Structure 1
Amino acid sequence: MANSMRSGGGKYYAVGDYMVGRQIGSGSFSTVWHARHRVHGTEVAIKEIVTARLNLKLQESLKSEIFILKKINHPNIIRLHDMIEEPDKLYIILEYCKGGDLSMYIQQHVGRIPEVTAKHFMQQLAAGLKVLRENNLIHRDLKPQNLLLSTDDENSVLKIADFGFARSLQPRGLAETLCGSPLYMAPEIMQLQKYDAKADLWSVGAIQFQLVTGKTPFTGNNQIQLLQNIMKSTELQFPPDAENLSPDCMDLCRKLLRRNPVERLTFEEFFNHPYLSQRQPHDSVRNKQSERAVDDFPFPERNPEEGSQEDCLPFSLDDDSSRASSAPIL
């Protein structure tokens, strides 16, 4: 429960065992706060959601997102520490990432970052994506803004976040909901076709391309023009100043960004691609550090009677639907 308190003449707020600090984000139905555990000082991010204003569709999607975060415990997936529910609010206590998101990192480095750093981030994205596939999950909104960084340097641990569009999808299963972010959205989704988990691999290719070139692979003034530019392209074009990229890097981009999902890399081929299999210096040290970093809290237990969410409607805390429900989230 959120309580207002005073200390030394100042006013501060507590949510459970956490002292709430500055605001670090906001949406139509949520606010994200930086906070610290009042006893051991662990930094966290608290997402305060006004559940009383969520319609049934958004509530179901929120339940699905929480279910996934409870289920997955991996250094490259954002960690759920705790949840606190009130009659009209839900506080989700998440791992705090000091480095912001990958989009901010790209902007701070004037668009283009060294290939060795891009490879470091891509290897971690692949590790996180691998655990999602092992659990038959598809993310459906992979983009730099949804990839958080533990620090703001090249040694940062990358963490996949924002599972609002994610759903369970068996190996031969197909989805059909239009969702995601156009610049990183697979063409089969934009064409309103049924699609499989390979749609995530297109998004990964777009992220990889942007990391090493500073630009998204395809652009357009609107979604229709963007799709037209994708469909008329016969071969992925790299900027003239990208001539120093390694052959493996360019090969991975081309094979991930194939329009036809049948011709696109499989997940197994992606995980075993030479570009990703080349070990980075100090990888073993990074992995050990990231494993220790997520052991500060016991992982929330999942009710074994809960079934997998076989279908999930699109979810955004900025959804403009006004049909609210008072049903409890948890």
Structure 2
Amino acid sequence: MAKITLRVVRNPNLMKKKHTSISVKEITKASFETALPKKPSADNVTLDGGRINSSSWVKLVLLGTGAYGSVYLGTSKSKTHHTGDRAIKTAELSHASSLMDEGRIMIRLQSPFVVRCYGDEIAREGYSTQYNLILEYCSGKTIADLIEDNHGELLESEAKVFARDVLSGLTYIHDRNIVHCDIKPDNLLLSPTAVRFRSTGYLTKIGDFGLAMEKGSLEYGNGYGHKRGTTRYMSPELIGHGFVDFGADVWAFGCTVLEMLSGATVWGEYGDLAFDDWVNLIGHSDRMPH
């Protein structure tokens, strides 16, 4: 077997040079099981000459789970460089390829309207090896939570402020050829701010880039063949023809604004449909969200 050396990368400026060379396809779960000692130390593990240290972060509270990993509220173990709380998005290394792709996109994005990524690490936690993505923690929860807490409609003036933030974030990522592919109230996080004349008290930040695609990449190709996202927020061309472009985010943004103003789930009058029924409704009928 070829010698593989893993390095923990926490410096965003170094990530492109070192992190992108780590392939989950090359590092299988079986290779870890055969390479690790019978009773591994919790502090560090040696794998073919490389060292995997324990995590630099303490995971305090589970914030949520998704298709590509779990998210925890975390705090740094360092006593000399306290950086404040972070959101730690984590997955077992052998199942972390999608989370690594998300990290490669997010590390390049620095906008007040996009959740910031501070780097990543490969760390030993108990008897498993985890890939951790270190993200900005937005303590105000999400637009979806705000809609629910207000029992429906937000004030139009508040919806305008939130919508302007989301459009600013979309403009930023689209200018960098990134299509988010999953804009919805649950993925729009609220960060408390003391900015004057900001009536809502929050900045809205786009988060969860797990389905994002970069136009011009090998994965993106000609844009066709990608049915991805949350069905009720998918645009007609996306759900009907599998075509991903910036318009998919704009359509989903429109659905989100409708929910902020009405308090009702978009397409909610149809209930929960099977995927083929969503395709017929959104992709091939002439109906519009109410």
Deviations 1:97-136 (A, max 9, x none): 1011211111111121111111111100011001111101
Distance 2:65 2:280 in 1: 34
* Counterpart contact for 1:149–1:157, Cα < 8 Å: yes
Opposite residue 263 of structure 2, the aligned amino acid is G
Q: Mark the CA change 1:3 to 1:27 in structure 2 (over 3 Å): closer, same or farther.
A: farther
Opposite residue 86 of structure 1, the aligned amino acid is A
Distance 2:288 2:74 in 1: 48
Report what 1:117 is aligned to.
158
Distance 1:83 1:196 in 2: 28
Q: Mark the CA change 1:140 to 1:62 in structure 2 (over 3 Å): closer, same or farther.
A: same
Q: Mark the CA change 1:68 to 1:29 in structure 2 (over 3 Å): closer, same or farther.
A: closer
Report what 2:4 is aligned to.
none
Report what 1:48 is aligned to.
90
Which one scores higher on RCO, CA 8 angstroms, separation ≥ 6?
1
* Secondary structure, counterpart of 1:86 in structure 2: strand
Aligned-residue CA RMSD in angstroms?
A: 2.8
Deviations 1:171-218 (A, max 9, x none): x95343111001111122221343422111110110011110112342
Matched, 1:25 2:71: no
* Counterpart contact for 1:173–1:196, Cα < 8 Å: no
Q: Mark the CA change 1:91 to 1:62 in structure 2 (over 3 Å): closer, same or farther.
A: closer
* Counterpart contact for 1:3–1:15, Cα < 8 Å: no
Opposite residue 67 of structure 1, the aligned amino acid is R
Report what 1:163 is aligned to.
209
Deviations 1:234-260 (A, max 9, x none): 5664xxxxxxxxxxxxxxxxxxxxxxx
Higher strand share: 2
How does 1:16-95 map onto structure 2 within 5 Å?
Answer: 16=56, 18-27=57-66, 30-37=69-76, 38-39=78-79, 40=82, 42-52=84-94, 54=95, 59=97, 61-86=98-123, 88-95=129-136
Distance 2:155 2:68 in 1: 38
* Counterpart contact for 1:175–1:196, Cα < 8 Å: no
Distance 1:66 1:36 in 2: 19
Matched, 1:146 2:216: no
What TM-score, normalized by structure 2, do the two folds share? 0.68
Distance 1:111 1:15 in 2: 41
* Counterpart contact for 2:226–2:244, Cα < 8 Å: no
Q: Mark the CA change 1:110 to 1:83 in structure 2 (over 3 Å): closer, same or farther.
A: same
Q: Which runs of 5+ in 2 are unaligned?
A: 1-7, 9-40, 44-53, 194-198
Distance 1:235 1:183 in 2: 12
Q: Which runs of 5+ in 1 are unaligned?
A: 5-13, 238-330
Distance 1:213 1:94 in 2: 31
Opposite residue 172 of structure 2, the aligned amino acid is V
* Counterpart contact for 2:91–2:99, Cα < 8 Å: no
Deviations 1:266-324 (A, max 9, x none): xxxxxxxxxxxxxxxxxxxxxxxxxxxxxxxxxxxxxxxxxxxxxxxxxxxxxxxxxxx
Opposite residue 78 of structure 1, the aligned amino acid is V
Identity of aligned residues (%): 25
Report what 1:241 is aligned to.
none
Report what 1:207 is aligned to.
256
* Secondary structure, counterpart of 1:89 in structure 2: strand
Q: Mark the CA change 1:29 to 1:62 in structure 2 (over 3 Å): closer, same or farther.
A: closer
Report what 2:34 is aligned to.
none
Distance 1:164 1:50 in 2: 16
Q: Mark the CA change 1:118 to 1:50 in structure 2 (over 3 Å): closer, same or farther.
A: same
* Secondary structure, counterpart of 2:118 in structure 1: strand
